[in-house]
Amino acid sequence: QLQLQESGPGLVKPSETLSLTCTVSGGSISSSSYYWGWIRQPPGKGLEWIGSIYYSGSTYYNPSLKSRVTISVDTSKNQFSLKLSSVTAADTAVYYCARQPLYSSSLPMEWGQGTLVTVSS
Amino acid sequence: EIVLTQSPGTLSLSPGERATLSCRASQSVSSSYLAWYQQKPGQAPRLLIYGASSRATGIPDRFSGSGSGTDFTLTISRLEPEDFAVYYCQQYGSSPGLTFGGGTKVEIK
């Protein structure tokens, strides 16, 4: 059974870079059948897609965040990562990682439990 | 970019009543790539409906989805206590980009 687990600092200072990792177990991140995505949710607000990556390294970003986002994949560790630069309080959110099968037209079928990242000095 | 608008923002109903939630897209959603999620506090979203009308695995048949083009509806035929939550619609497709609606909260009246 596939499991996704987000990890990283829960507190980041303004103007710094937020870094999170999603560890995949029960499946291979090197499969050609999936995208791997990041989605966030500010406290009490709605969901926002941040971006996704294919095992080959091809990336797709939300245009509203593109200038600050980098998503990468480490197939040797079965992990993919998110970096968001120049953060502000508006980036405080629960960050989820998800698997997006190509056969479901990239609909997220499995989600991690989410991790709260607070941006504060 | 497709914008999804959900209405109403909050729906106050009693257990046993019927809930009707709306999701309107700013342009036509291709191939009915429209999904609905349920989210409870402290939990990740749970997929209910995909392809506008197909129930995900394990979802009770009191949940149903309908619509095409720009207008979509999630109906809960008889609300159970565990159904009080926030519901999101989502557009997906051939690229991995996703768009979410703002959500509808179904609360106990």
pLDDT tens readout for residues B10-57 = 999 999 999 999 999 999 998 789 999 999 999 999 999 999 999 999
Residues in B touching A106 (Cβ below 8 Å): 92-98
Residues in A touching B99 (Cβ below 8 Å): 49
Could you report the per-residue pLDDT of A56-86, keeping only the tens digit for each? 999 999 999 999 999 999 999 999 999 999 9
Could you report the per-residue pLDDT of A22-39, keeping only the tens digit for each? 999 999 999 999 999 999
Substitution target from A107, A109, A111 for chain B, most B beta carbons within 10 A: A107
- Give the separation between CA B85 and CA B63, rounded to whole angstroms: 13
- Split at pLDDT 50, 70, 90, the class of B91 is very high
Please report, for residues A23, A98, B69, B102, the alpha-carbon distance to residue A55 in angstroms, rounded to integers and kept in the order given.
14, 14, 32, 30
Interface contacts (A, B; CB < 8 Å): 58
Cβ-based burial of B108 (10 A; exposed 0-12, middle 13-18, buried ≥19): exposed
Percent of chain A scored above 90 by pLDDT? 92
Is any Cβ of chain B less than 8 angstroms from the Cβ of A93? Answer: no
Could you report the per-residue pLDDT of B8-22, keeping only the tens digit for each? 999 999 999 999 999
Is any Cβ of chain A less than 8 angstroms from the Cβ of B88? Answer: yes
Q: Dmax of chain B from CA atoms?
A: 40
Residues in A touching B41 (Cβ below 8 Å): none
Please choose, from the candidates B81, B89, B77, the residue with its C-alpha nearest in 3D space to the C-alpha of residue B36. B89
